[in-house]
Structure 1
């Protein structure tokens, strides 16, 4: 099994789960940085001290939340 890192970027928190080759895992929750989501992702990876990962899976609820809360730019389909 390869090492895997899962990242879920949300409006308030960015969540992480790392799964090692031996089945051990580590979880972490980081405050999101909406102005630049990569800041929270890189900070969380640094805090977790992840040095090697073969697979990274990233998900985000930012767009879904913007639609539900009607916080996005006004757009139209013509």
Structure 2
């Protein structure tokens, strides 16, 4: 009888260990998927920021050129 209890407890413990191992593996897999998703989103965000930055620089250059053209025109008008 005592041996039967030991075997049952051993089987219950092994079953619990198996469940915990599966849960741990599942959690690790979900964490890896999250990290992959996060890295993809971070990369996408960096690309969008770089694009926005280059668009702003191009726009600023365009505005600067317009201002310089106006300043030149004003200078010419002053010297007339």
Structure that is richer in strand per residue = 1
Output the TM-score relative to the length of structure 1. 0.21
Rg larger in 1 or in 2?
2
Output the TM-score relative to the length of structure 2. 0.20
Q: Which has the higher relative contact order, 1 or 2, with Cα contacts under 8 A spaced 6 or more apart?
A: 1
